[in-house]
Amino acid sequence: MGISQEYSRTQRVAEQLQRELAALIQFDIQDPRIGMVTISRVKLSRDLSHAQILVTVLDDNKLITSEQSIKALNNAARFMRTQLAQRMNMRIVPNLRFCYDSSLRQGNYISDLIDQARATDSNQS
């Protein structure tokens, strides 16, 4: 198997994992600490034994922090892995590790800096 075939298989599995996990979190996980999360990316190891799931947390509810959501997701990882084994046709279901995806927050910060720089430039003109 060539590298491009292995990559495409890894990508396909990651995309399927992302869809299945999103459905599990939305419909089957009843933990109120999770709040509103979005899976932004799934990173799979080459051998498909480990998956790092990057999630963003909607900050509508200030009582639930992103750290609490990540902890609750990682606590439910075993349950989700069992559900994935039943839903997906895979010989080995990867170990799941949820992590906070800070790229959205960083992007907003950079966008704010650009807006401030533009405002400063227009005021000086």
In this prediction, residue 7 carries a pLDDT of 62
Average pLDDT over residues 4-10: 70
Q: How confident is the prediction for the chain on average, in pLDDT?
A: 86
pLDDT one-digit tens code per residue, 38-71: 999 999 998 999 999 999 987 665 667 888 999 9
Residues 34 and 71: their CA atoms lie apart, in Å, by: 8
User: Is 107 or 115 the better-scoring residue by pLDDT?
Assistant: 115
Average pLDDT over residues 1-29: 85
In this prediction, residue 58 carries a pLDDT of 78
Q: How crowded is residue 102: how many other Cβ atoms within 10 Å of its Cβ? A: 12
Average pLDDT over residues 92-114: 82
- Which of 51-60, 81-90, 114-123 has the least mean pLDDT? 114-123
pTM of the model: 0.77
Q: Is-contact 90 74, C-beta < 8 A?
A: no
In the predicted model, is pLDDT for residue 2 greater than 60? Answer: no
> What CATH number has the domain spanning 3-124?
3.30.300.20
Return the domain boundaries, the chain.
3-124
Strands 50-57 and 95-100, by their bridges, are parallel
